[in-house]
Structure 1
Amino acid sequence: MLENFIDFLSNGENLLFIIFSMLVIVGAVFLINLQRVVHMVIALATTFISLAGLYVMLDAEFLAFVQVLIYAGAMTILMIFGIMMTKHEKQNEEPKRALHNVLLLVGSIGFFIILYLAIQDAVFPIQEFTSNEENTKMIGIELFTWHVIPFELVSVLLTVAFIGAIIVAKREED
């Protein structure tokens, strides 16, 4: 079993996959367990950027670009603005939960071991994968030929939401 794991890690792509997937999991766990909102935003950005790395490994460069641009960039900045515009008073810190943290660590390690053993015993059929070199071009062709009406409806919906946000902000200002 240890030899299989060492063989698995000898490939650079597998090692990169392990690093990105662990960053996604750790960022998600930190997002749930952290107390301060700013730290949560950093954990969320780490998760989004790691997901973009996984998309690059899957030859989905357009999806990775959108992941970084929309989620890691815009959503994180939006959350930071939300933090800056709301009042945050210092709250009393909760007592440390040492037993809870130890049980969480033991449960996470056990879950990882169970998943690792299940994946090692699984038999996946070998399929030939052909990556399209013009991935972004194919997305554009599909989007503007077969899916043009939903695309335009989403743009109208986003425009209406933007105008509504401006109206709500103006009312609060008055």
Structure 2
Amino acid sequence: MIQQLFSNIIHFFGSGTNVGFMILALLAIGGAVFMLNFTKVIHMVISIAVTFISIAGIYILLQAEFVAVAQILIYAGAITIMMIFGIMMTNHQEIDQSTGRPLHHALVIVGCVGLFALIFYAIQQGTFRTQVVDLAENNTKNIGLELFTEHVIPFELMSVLLTVAFIGAIIIAKREED
């Protein structure tokens, strides 16, 4: 049982794609955790940008280059810049979170390790069917056709919604200033 477990781990890390996935997944999770734990807002924005960029790397590993470029342009670029503008336009104070809660931190660590062990065990015991699928054939063309034929109205509505949200943030920031 233990020998099979270690052979599965060695087999998994024998592929460069799997190693790259693990590095990018750890960066994505680490950036999200740091974003939640940092107290300075600019550090939060940088860590969430690391998360967005590492998710784009995972899309590249999945051979979805168009989605990866869109992830970098929209999320790592535009949303991060919009967050920085929001930070500059609002008044915020740094919250002191230095109060020690050792029991809380210990429970969080135990919970994370337990969740990791449970997921790891489930993946090791699971049987997965293998199937050969050519996902990257005309990937960008198919996404463009779907986006601008079947889903053009939701696409345009999302751009209007984002514009209204940004204008609303500017109005709220101006009210706080006055």
TM over 0.5: yes
Among all aligned residue pairs of Structure 1 and Structure 2, give the percentage whose two residues are the same amino acid.
Answer: 49
1:137 aligns with 2:141: yes
2: CA distance, partners of 1:17 / 1:159: 31
| 1:72 corresponding residue in structure 2 | 76
2: CA distance, partners of 1:166 / 1:33: 24
After superposition, the Cα gap between the structure-2 partners of 1:105 and 1:92, relative to the gap in structure 1 and judged at 3 Å, is closer
Q: Deviations over 1:109-160 (max 9, x none)?
A: 22112111111111111111112332111211222333334444445x3597
1:161 aligns with 2:164: yes
TM-aligned CA deviation for residue 8 of structure 1: 0.9
User: For the Cα contact (< 8 Å) 2:86–2:169, is it kept in 1?
Assistant: no
After superposition, the Cα gap between the structure-2 partners of 1:154 and 1:77, relative to the gap in structure 1 and judged at 3 Å, is closer
User: For the Cα contact (< 8 Å) 2:52–2:76, is it kept in 1?
Assistant: yes
Among candidates 112, 117, 129, match of residue 108 of structure 1: 112
State the AA in 2 paired with 1:57: L
| 2:93 corresponding residue in structure 1 | 89
| 1:41 corresponding residue in structure 2 | 45
After superposition, the Cα gap between the structure-2 partners of 1:68 and 1:119, relative to the gap in structure 1 and judged at 3 Å, is same
Greater shift, 85-94 or 103-112, is seen at: 85-94
TM-score (norm 2): 0.80
After superposition, the Cα gap between the structure-2 partners of 1:37 and 1:125, relative to the gap in structure 1 and judged at 3 Å, is same
| 1:61 corresponding residue in structure 2 | 65
User: For the Cα contact (< 8 Å) 2:39–2:95, is it kept in 1?
Assistant: no
| 2:103 corresponding residue in structure 1 | 99
TM-score (norm 1): 0.82
Question: What are the ranges of 5 or more consecutive residues in structure 2 without an aligned counterpart?
Answer: none
2: CA distance, partners of 1:20 / 1:135: 22
After superposition, the Cα gap between the structure-2 partners of 1:28 and 1:152, relative to the gap in structure 1 and judged at 3 Å, is closer
TM-aligned CA deviation for residue 21 of structure 1: 1.4
By relative contact order (CA 8 Å, sep 6+), the higher-ranking structure is 2
Question: Alignment RMSD, CA only?
Answer: 2.8
Residue correspondences, number: 172
Among candidates 144, 150, 164, match of residue 146 of structure 1: 150
